[in-house]
Amino acid sequence: MVQSELKKQFSHMNNMQQQAVFCTEGPLLILAGAGSGKTTVLVNRIAYILQSELCKPWQILAITFTNKAAGELKERICNAVPEGGSDIWAATFHSTCARILRRYGDRICFTSHFTVYGTDDQKKLVKDILKQLNYDEKMLPVKRVLNEISKAKDEMLTPQEMLKRAGYDNLKQSVAKVYEIYQSRLKTADAMDFDDMLCKTVELFQNCPDILEFYQNQFKYIMVDEYQDTNKVQYKFVSMLAAKYGNICVVGDDDQSIYKFRGATIENILSFENTFKGAKMIRLEQNYRSTQNILNAANGVISNNTMRKGKTLWTENAVGDKIEVHTSDSERDEAQFIAKTILDGVADGRKFSDFAILYRMNAQSNSIEQALSRSGIPHRVIGGRRFYDREEIRDMVAYLQVINNPHDDVRLGRIINVPKRGIGATTLEKASEIAAGLGESIYSVIKDADVYPQLSRAATKLKSFVALIDGLMEAEQSGDYSLAELYNLILEHTDYEKYLKTEKDNPDVRIENIEELSSNIIKFEEDYAEEASLSNFLEEISLQTDIDNYDAEADSSVMMTLHSAKGLEFPVVFIAGLEEGVFPSIATMMNPDELNEERRLAYVGITRAKEKLYITKAKSRMLMGHTSYNKVSRFVNEIPPELLNYTGEKKTFASTNGFSASSSHISIGAGSKFTPNKSFNTFTKPAVKSGTVYKKGDCVFHKVFGKGMIMKTEKMGNDTMLEVAFDKAGTKTLMANFSKMEKI
């Protein structure tokens, strides 16, 4: 196809998007503002490269930060390029590295069955090491140790290099010692943590130039999404791969760099043009998501930051409504305002899924979730307890992990006495000490338990457990069983369901969860067909995040932190708790770099809204056991005042360098246009008439859900929980005092 004709296929894109698509050679930075269609650009750029026959599909590597983003990118590529689109490497950093390490990990002494340790596994391992070294957890908290180890790996520091840097600092020396044993224990267990997956891949490339050359030759075009969120080792990884052809295209927004706490460094995107010689930069500033008022608010806030490349978002969308700034008396009133606004919106024709409530920290979610529940608003909390974090699920996954890799000491320790087999903590501790002394895994030791006098009393029980695991391993390796059948074998030979029924609270719910895991395994086998191996399944679930499971089609409101909301969009957004001391937090207010990151986080929150943005604050807030009286956040005052509409209370101004201890003495001046919302004041009280009693069989009318019948009532304190079957909305659970229903 002639190039001019080919380019006509992309005429639906704006001018800057087209420039980004057609610029295929050499380093390219696409500075993509929020809602500017960056995924569309990536997909079309890949389509253009393939249609121009510049390379084969498998010579393109597209890296994203979440499985969900990788899946969506791959799906859109396959739709745009039906032939060959599925051969493109579209994956996260971790899954890309995992794929390389599964193939060549033996070159750095790992098997293809290596285990990936999640946060809980890491904590357990560090706890064991602290105990081994006789270190006090109060002086050396597990979380701090893991943070320091992660930082070291981001900088690709070995334990020895970390120890050297520690100098005469005793605490840092102790962390370095833990780090050394931690890595040794991981190696013995044939395991890696998430940081290792990147570090070990870079190590593989450095130690094995032939493997690096192989992948350099393979990937002629490399594209990295969300480049502002990359750390030093991720930069090292992609720069090594791109060294031959130099065709590296990164897409990102320095104004959305919000993951410094994870090791992300904004310098990667700010210095791209200096790092990659001859690099070009293209700005995408046209926004397709939000109203102009929302964009003007976002531009107003982010313009106060230093150290940014600079851009101004604009749109052809409508000007839209002003931003609503609502002040409530307390966090409970704030939550009730949010609930009422959602109910009013649904009554006016919106869906529950149109609404998202964002907050700076998870601790803010409690009062909001309670208000939504009392109001009968279906909702999901993203970032709450993940399915794979539930005790019974972790037990079953641990069995699968040990079958896949019996040298995984952490997982083996979890299940060796679950269900109870008479193998106590003391026995496990003795086995662990022997293993550590020999430099072997616990499994290797207990296979020969009768050889060691320390284990003689428990030898029979230990060898019985080994026989169970060996039998399950043999079943898995035989190829005679599907993953689902292997899972059923575990349940059958461990009597795990019986254990739940006799030993645990809420056994029915727990059994439902392990049945749901079975469903997940079956679905995995359907999706992956011949590639549905045990190790692939375990890798899949280890790399999952809460956002990966977010279902935008479900009709329920969403609650999440501002960090979790990045990359998402909603018609209506609430940003709760915009107060000095809450957002920005006290800890960041005195540090210019951290305050800049907080401001970028506010920018991310504002730009999630498509049509309507609510900002809420409380005059007094109970948070983590303390009541504070905070002024409105400086980020609100950075929004041009003509874009704001105040309700609930006259606005209160924050100081530029701190926050007030009290904002309780606020008067509404004579003639002021800012007046309290009287209709909202009544919402804090139960709406049900005194003496109204609901019973099973009553027909009722709800202003949102319509007509229904009460199927069940249950007295709860001064209130009654009602199960109501609505004609159109399905079955809902409501609290009587907040249901606002009429008997009919």
In the DSSP assignment, the letter for residue 715 is E
Per annotation, catalytic residue among 17, 38, 341, 720: 38
Scan for tokens 């334990």, then name that residue. 159
CB atoms within 10 A of CB 366: 13
CB atoms within 10 A of CB 187: 17
**508 catalytic, yes or no?**
no
- Chain centroid to CA 638: 29
* Catalytically annotated residue among 154, 190, 195, 225: 225
| CB-based contact 83:110 (threshold 8 Å) | no
Active-site residue flag, 733: no
Locus of tokens 């296929």: 9
Q: Considering only CA atoms, give the Rg of the chain.
A: 28
Instruction: Give catalytic status of residue 87 as yes or no.
Output: no
Q: Which token pair is 260?
A: 């410094």
Strands of the sheet containing 280-284, edge to edge, are 89-92, 60-64, 221-224, 248-252, 28-32, 280-284
User: Two tokens at 195?
Assistant: 């940081």
- Is 9 one of the catalytic residues? no
Choice among 17, 59, 64, 256 that is catalytic: 256
Is residue 479 within 8 Å of residue 534, measured between CB atoms?
A: no
Provide the 3-class DSSP secondary structure of residue 183.
Answer: helix
**Active site includes 256?**
yes
Catalytic residue among 226, 255, 369, 598: 226
Q: How many CB atoms lie within 10 A of CB 667?
A: 7
Name the H helices within 309-390: 331-347, 365-374
Q: Tell me which of 185, 220, 608, 610 is the catalytic residue.
A: 608
CA 5 from centroid of its chain's CA atoms: 42
Burial class (CB in 10 A: 0-12, 13-18, 19+), 109: exposed
Question: DSSP assignment, residue 676?
Answer: -
Active site residue 516: no
Give per-residue burial for 305-316: e unless 16+ CB within 10 Å, then b.
Answer: beebeebebebe
In angstroms, rounded to a whole number, what is the distance separating the alpha carbons of residues 302 and 313? 11
User: Which residues are marked as active site?
Assistant: 38-39, 225-226, 256, 608
